[in-house]
Structure 1
């Protein structure tokens, strides 16, 4: 019998970047899909997958939602038209969604984090989540539960 290495699950074609650390560090309660206002060279870099959401967050300023600390690498062929990689980018939401978010974020310990960036009908969209920070013991509990689930699936798979 020939044993083959397990293939990693492939991400969907339209998904460009994910923030895996967000689900580990935060408990996500609600998610919203928002459009991103990008310059010409930024969208080319995003389509090439050169975006990093790791330390990103969103903030409401003067009634608008802004994505901060998200790194989009400069476009290789962009020369003088390139952008600042860490510049603040405006997120586009409906008024009622923005009002709901601004009411929720006023509570202490709640933040808005980007979860993933993907293309939808040719436009770059970001999935943002309303998050509360996890304590260290919550993170350990999550890891323990995940390992128990994995062990149960393995036992069930081997028995049947």
Structure 2
């Protein structure tokens, strides 16, 4: 029974570490969709738990290992499949804003302003600034980005 408790406990540590600090195996170059610390942790916990349950049911030790390994493989595979599906649904990074055209929606100058950019999916309007005052309704182009704010100049 000690083997099952130790493996299950180590699996729980790996699982919690992967959930709190990010995937453990990815940080050492094994992860990136190939093998997940979360799936390994789930498999180890299931192995330990099912082994203890089988032993407490007074079955032979060999059955505890067979059932534990079988359940661990199934649980790890299901966890890895779910993790892969979730990672495939992640949003793509936002498009680069340098060179994007738009229109000022408020007077924009060194103190700030606002623009509506064309062809940008994530936000319709952005806070903006420019070195010169640009009146509302003027066509502009993005020449710099600082966080969510953009620096603009009049479009030629």
* Range class of TM-score, shorter chain: under 0.3
Structure with a larger share of its residues in helix: 2
Q: Which has the higher contact order (CA 8 A, sep 6+)?
A: 1
TM-score (norm 2): 0.27
| Bigger Cα Rg | 2
TM-score (norm 1): 0.26
